[in-house]
C-alpha cells in the first residue's frame, strides 16, 4: 500500500515539480492532480487521480446524474533532478523535477 506524503504539479508536458525529500529509497505517494509512487526500483506518476478513497472518481449531481473523470494514466519517470544544494538535514532547497518518459497533453480541464 501507499501513504500520502508529498505534493507536486505537472508544470509542462514532460516535467513534474515536487519536493526533493520525496525522492528517497522509501515508498511515497505524491498527489495533487495526480499521484506519484516512489521506490528504489520503480517510479511512476499517476495522472488524473482525484480521490484517494475509491478507484472511480465520480460525483453525483443533485439531479442524480453521475459524472466520472476519465481513467487515470500511469507514466514512468525517466529522470530525477534534485536541487544541487538540497540539504535534507538543514531542510533547504527542498525541490526536485521529475522528467516523464512521455509527453502529457496539457488542457484546461485540470
* pLDDT (0 to 100) of residue 5: 61
Q: What is the pLDDT of residues 27-65, one digit of tens each?
A: 344 444 444 444 434 567 777 777 666 667 788 889 999
* pLDDT (0 to 100) of residue 71: 80
When pLDDT is cut at 50, 70 and 90, the band that residue 11 belongs to is very high
Could you tell me the domains of the chain? Answer: 4-100 (2.40.10.10)
- Of 110, 69, 80, which Cα lies nearest the Cα of 19? 80
Tell me the C-alpha distance between 38 and 46, whole Å.
11
pTM assigned to the model: 0.70
Mean pLDDT of the chain: 76
Amino acid at each position: 500500500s501507499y501513504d500520502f506524503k508529498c505534493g507536486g504539479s505537472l508544470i509542462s508536458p514532460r516535467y513534474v515539480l515536487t519536493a526533493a525529500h520525496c525522492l528517497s529509497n522509501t515508498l511515497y505517494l505524491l498527489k495533487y492532480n495526480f499521484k506519484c509512487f516512489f521506490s528504489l526500483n520503480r517510479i511512476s506518476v499517476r495522472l488524473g487521480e482525484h480521490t484517494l478513497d475509491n478507484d472511480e472518481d465520480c460525483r453525483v449531481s443533485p439531479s442524480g446524474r453521475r459524472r466520472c473523470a476519465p481513467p487515470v494514466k500511469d507514466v514512468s519517470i525517466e529522470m530525477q533532478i534534485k536541487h544541487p544544494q538540497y540539504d535534507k538535514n538543514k531542510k533547504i532547497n527542498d525541490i526536485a523535477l521529475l522528467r516523464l518518459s512521455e509527453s502529457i497533453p496539457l488542457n484546461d480541464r485540470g
